[in-house]
Structure 1
Amino acid sequence: PLSAAKKAGVPVRIAHSHSTMGKGELAKNLMKLALRPLSNLYPTERLACSEYAGKWLFGRNADFTVIPNAIELEKFRFDPVIRQETRRELGIADDMFLVGHVGRFMPQKNQAFLVDVLAELLPQKPDTMLAFVGDGPDRPDVQQHAQALGIGDHILFLGQRTDVSHLYQAFDAFCLPSRYEGLGMVAIEAQVAGCPCVLSDQVPHEADISGKTSFISLENKSSWISTVLNISSQTANRQIETSNTCAEKYDISASANRLTFLYVSSAESANGWEETL
């Protein structure tokens, strides 16, 4: 599209990096690697959702602007009433430990890894439940994997939901075992909701806005289990504190204003350039 735009004489052409790449998606990775050099050839502006995503696509020394994905912060703020109501709707008792995950069922998100973690966690913490929020092509395989391990009754497959901000409140821990991420916006949402997070080390550390997030290698399953167990022992103090300063850059109002300014200033610069011709 940016190539066509350049040929058509469009003066402002923006490339926006939202992701990177990782193991498990050979065809997609090869396509990304083939197209990556073109990302610096056609755009006049380069944007990214994180430093990591920008450097991956445009290069370590490239000139790009980071504009994080954003949310309605107040919508996700922890509310003990919403927590109780949501857990009741899910059938989760107060003394049960609920681990949550939000994401599309696809190789990148690596949900089967969490099923394996749960299988080894249950002998030590039998009152644990795992909730998957989302849908996608890998969901049947993950469900079959859970059944094969005999732990299907400890997993909730909630599908696509419109009340995700409420579900975060119900979780006691949030896990994101992604093989790669541009930022990991769901981790930001979970922290704003006061939920302790355990993320793979393939998620950019920019996703830690609470200063209390654990980043663990996918090669170290035992560390995932011990970290989640440690969180389970602290459920009485489940709510983590996320400073307003760290969260503010993900506020949708501020982000919209910043993006609008960038669009307007770019358009004005382009118009000024055309007027000098």
Structure 2
Amino acid sequence: MKKILVIGMTSTPGGVESFLINYCLNKNMTGIQFDFLCPSENKIAYSEEIETQGNVYYVVPKSKNMLLHKKQLKKFFKTNSKEYIAVWANLNSLMNVDFLKIARRYGIKHIIVHSHNSGNMGGFLQKILHMKNKYFIGKIATEYWACSIGAAKWFYPQNITATIVKNAINVEKYAFDQFKREKIREEYDLDGCKVIGHIGRLHFQKNQSQLLTIMQQLIHADESYRLVLIGSGPDRETLIEETSQKGLEKYVIFAGEQKDIGGWLSAFDVFTFPSRFEGLSIVGLEAQANGIPIVASTKAINDEGLINSNVTRISLDSPIEVWCQSIKLSIKEERCEYSIIKEKFRSKCFDIDAEVEKMSKFFLSLY
């Protein structure tokens, strides 16, 4: 049994968390145990599922206590480093690379850095720290992965060539389900409504404020529109206040974190995705697995992540009227057929079973 130490799981279920669960807990990932090291004061997402197959270790976050953070990291690696063949760090930023330096210092041979983003999610300080560490990462890591070409370009200096690891998913899990559609729409009083759905962390990156502006225009002509926002995050209260200011309380549902993403995608009539930047979006793939018509920014679903024919991509510089018109037209479109979706996911290497086999072979080859 080869043991891999995974870094990057947080307490909030999001794209990186979904990616890790898709790969690490896949039934075909045999001969490998994944343990998780987490700088968090709260239980990580999917902790119960993870602990059926591996271990979860916690250290205090650097933002809470820098000295204690480093002390606990050193203690962990001094005690446990000989157990692991590799550290696999799944990151949105290179702001903090202490754990990678310490892991290497204590003799872990393979240090894998995996980029999951193509832009800065934090403030100015995070940007500066990322840029500083970007040019030293070649002296720390031994393998360089990224979810897309854009994520590789943003994360690594030009002299590093990254391996693209696809954000593959279980396509069947997100397939359209008429029963779940009817159940959710009845529960949330959505029968007879045109439901615009969005799933994502409530954060500047995801740009949910634009959806509120779109809704403000749509309901002027048709009050049957409803916007459902799935997710949590730092912008929740700000978005609720903006909803109130725009007089949209009747038309916007903040549904919080939800486990049955496939069911919610089935309940929506169109999926909207106006992100300012993405690496290669997991939820963009999940929505396409469902077959639902999608209206997205060109930053949200790039060429690498485009699978279905019913995806409309719009520049963030386009007028709101263009977004509104695209949503109106997309709601009238049919969902893509599951058999066609499944074949396209396979051909583009986004079907999880095939991609897990590749990753399993890589980890088993390490020594």
Unaligned runs of 5+ in 1: 269-277
* Structure 2 residue 313 is the aligned partner of structure 1 residue 215: yes
Residue of structure 2 in register with 1:239 after alignment? 335
Contact 1:99 1:171 in 2 (8 A): yes
Tell which deviates more after alignment, 100-109 or 84-93.
Answer: 84-93
Secondary structure class of the residue paired with 2:317: coil
Which of the residues 79, 85, 106 maps onto 1:8?
A: 106
- Report deviation, 1:169: 0.4
Name the CA shift for 1:73/1:205 in 2 (closer, same or farther; >3 Å). Answer: same
Tell which deviates more after alignment, 19-28 or 47-56.
Answer: 19-28
Tell which deviates more after alignment, 199-208 or 113-122.
Answer: 199-208
TM-score relative to the length of structure 2? 0.67
Which is helix-richer, 1 or 2?
1
Tell which deviates more after alignment, 142-151 or 42-51.
Answer: 42-51
Name the CA shift for 1:159/1:43 in 2 (closer, same or farther; >3 Å). Answer: same
Unaligned runs of 5+ in 2: 1-98
Contact 1:21 1:29 in 2 (8 A): no
* Structure 2 residue 267 is the aligned partner of structure 1 residue 167: no
Residue of structure 2 in register with 1:274 after alignment? none
Contact 2:134 2:157 in 1 (8 A): no
Secondary structure class of the residue paired with 2:254: strand
Residue of structure 1 in register with 2:294 after alignment? 197
Question: Separation in 1 of the partners of 2:303 and 2:215?
Answer: 24
Aligned length: 263
Question: Separation in 2 of the partners of 1:29 and 1:150?
Answer: 36
Residue of structure 2 in register with 1:263 after alignment? 363
Superposition pairs of residues 11-160 of structure 1, within 5 angstroms = 11-21=109-119, 25-59=123-157, 62-93=160-191, 95-160=192-257
- Report deviation, 1:47: 1.1
**1:148-186 C-alpha deviation (Å, 9 max, x unpaired):** 011111011000111221000011111111111111111
Contact 1:185 1:207 in 2 (8 A): no
Name the CA shift for 1:96/1:118 in 2 (closer, same or farther; >3 Å). Answer: same
Question: Separation in 2 of the partners of 1:136 and 1:164?
Answer: 17
Could you say what the CA RMSD is over the residues aligned between the two structures, in angstroms?
2.0
- Identity across aligned pairs (percent)? 29
Residue of structure 1 in register with 2:93 after alignment? none
Question: Separation in 2 of the partners of 1:227 and 1:27?
Answer: 37
- Report deviation, 1:28: 3.1
Contact 2:289 2:342 in 1 (8 A): no
Name the CA shift for 1:60/1:222 in 2 (closer, same or farther; >3 Å). Answer: farther
Question: Separation in 2 of the partners of 1:162 and 1:8?
Answer: 38
Larger relative CO (CA 8 A, sep 6+): 1 or 2? 1
Name the CA shift for 1:219/1:27 in 2 (closer, same or farther; >3 Å). Answer: farther
